[in-house]
């Protein structure tokens, strides 16, 4: 373990998070995978012995978050990179959205990310070194039917900017990645006609791959970059530039 960097990735079992995990393992990180999906997490760990450790944990549960960091501290005594990727959607127009769907999305996407950042900040401040990469979404700019999700992801952008200010002097860079439309189990849940419309609205007329996000995480998480902090990098096929319909 001495010759490996330690990364924590949340939502590491499926979709973008799993792609990030695979990429970081390739880049000689030992990855602590946090997820609520136990069976697939344990399966991945058993197929990648010595390269990762799966921890069953809900990032919106304070006790889980504390015990994740306690485990990391006790076993590895450091964390080089935290990737806050876990997130959910519960879409609806505001007049049809339940308060529960609003609360769940904010609790996981924003408060869960904040709790993970808080524990990482405590540790990284002491070690005087660290990287945090938060996965937000292009949707923070606004998407109909996503008042809960857009608000949560806008919160993650704000959180990223503040932590860059607070942790800068401790050699900790904090950045966000804003994915656009990416081919994952989350987007596979969309209706076919809706997906087609979304792809058509892309300047590239294509859907991104989880690896596109993993590549950006590998760059921002590395120690080659010491002077990029507080930024939100769009990996969205140009969608953030404006409408292309």
Ligand X SMILES: NC(=O)c1ccc[n+]([C@@H]2O[C@H](COP(=O)([O-])OP(=O)(O)OC[C@H]3O[C@@H](n4cnc5c(N)ncnc54)[C@H](O)[C@@H]3O)[C@@H](O)[C@H]2O)c1
Interface with ligand X, residue 237, by CB under 6 A = no
DSSP string for residues in the chain: -TTSEEEEEET-SSHHHHHHHHHHHHTTEEEEEEES-HHHHHHHHHHSTTTEEEEE--TT-HHHHHHHHHHHHHHHS--SEEEE-------B-GGG--HHHHHHHIIIIIIIHHHHHHHHHHHHHHHT-EEEEEE--GGGG--TTBHHHHHHHHHHHHHHHHHHHHHGGGTEEEEEEEE-SB-SHHHHTS-HHHHHHHHHTSTTSS-B-HHHHHHHHHHHHSTT-SS--S-EEEESTTGGG----
175 binds ligand X (CB under 6 A): no
Residue 35 found at the interface with ligand X (CB under 6 A): yes
Q: Which is nearer to ligand X, 61 or 171 (CB)?
A: 61
User: Which of 108, 216, 220, 233: binder of ligand X (CB under 6 A)?
Assistant: 108
Q: Which is nearer to ligand X, 68 or 123 (CB)?
A: 68
* Cα–Cα distance measured from residue 131 to residue 213, given in angstroms and rounded to the nearest whole number: 16
Give me the active site residues, please: 149
By CB under 6 A, residue 73 contacts ligand X: no
Assess contact for 209 and 182: CB atoms under 8 A: yes
Q: How far is the CB of 35 from ligand X (least distance, A)?
A: 4
11 counts as binding ligand X under rule CB under 6 A: yes
Query: Residue 89 or 164: which CB sits closer to ligand X?
Result: 89
Is 16 near ligand X (CB under 6 A)?
Answer: yes
104 binds ligand X (CB under 6 A): no
CA distance 23 to 201: 29
CB of 182 to ligand X, least distance (A): 4
Sole window of 11-19, 21-29, 159-167, 214-222 interacting with ligand X (rule: CB under 6 A): 11-19
Near ligand X by CB under 6 A: residue from 7, 9, 15, 221: 15
CB nearer ligand X, residue 28 or residue 244: 244
Contact between 37 and ligand X (CB under 6 A)? Answer: yes
Return residues touching ligand X (CB under 6 A).
10-11, 13-17, 34-37, 58-60, 85-88, 108, 112, 135, 137, 179, 181-182, 184-187
């Amino acid at each position: 373990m001495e010759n490996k960097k330690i990364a924590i990735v949340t939502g590491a079992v499926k979709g973008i998070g799993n792609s990030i995990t695979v990429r970081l393992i390739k880049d000689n990180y030992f990855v602590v995978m946090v997820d609520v999906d136990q069976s697939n997490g344990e399966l991945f760990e058993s197929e990648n012995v010595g390269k990762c450790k799966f921890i069953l944990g809900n990032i919106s549960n304070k006790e889980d978050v504390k015990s994740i960091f306690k485990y990391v501290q006790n076993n590895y005594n450091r964390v080089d990179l935290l990737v806050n990727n876990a997130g959910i959607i519960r879409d609806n127009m505001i007049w049809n959205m339940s308060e529960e769907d609003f609360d769940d999305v904010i609790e996981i996407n924003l408060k869960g990310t904040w709790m993970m950042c808080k524990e990482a900040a405590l540790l990284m401040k002491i070690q005087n070194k660290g990287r945090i990469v938060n996965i937000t979404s292009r949707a923070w700019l606004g998407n109909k039917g996503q008042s809960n999700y857009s608000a949560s992801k806008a919160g993650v952008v704000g959180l990223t900017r503040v932590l860059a200010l607070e942790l800068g002097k401790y050699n900790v860079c904090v950045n966000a990645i804003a994915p656009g439309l990416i081919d994952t189990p989350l987007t596979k849940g969309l209706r076919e006609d809706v997906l087609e419309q979304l792809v058509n609205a892309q300047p590239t007329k294509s859907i991104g791959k989880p690896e596109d996000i993993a590549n950006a995480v590998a760059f921002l998480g590395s120690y080659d970059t010491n002077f990029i902090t507080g930024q939100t990098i769009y990996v969205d096929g140009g969608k953030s530039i404006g409408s292309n319909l």
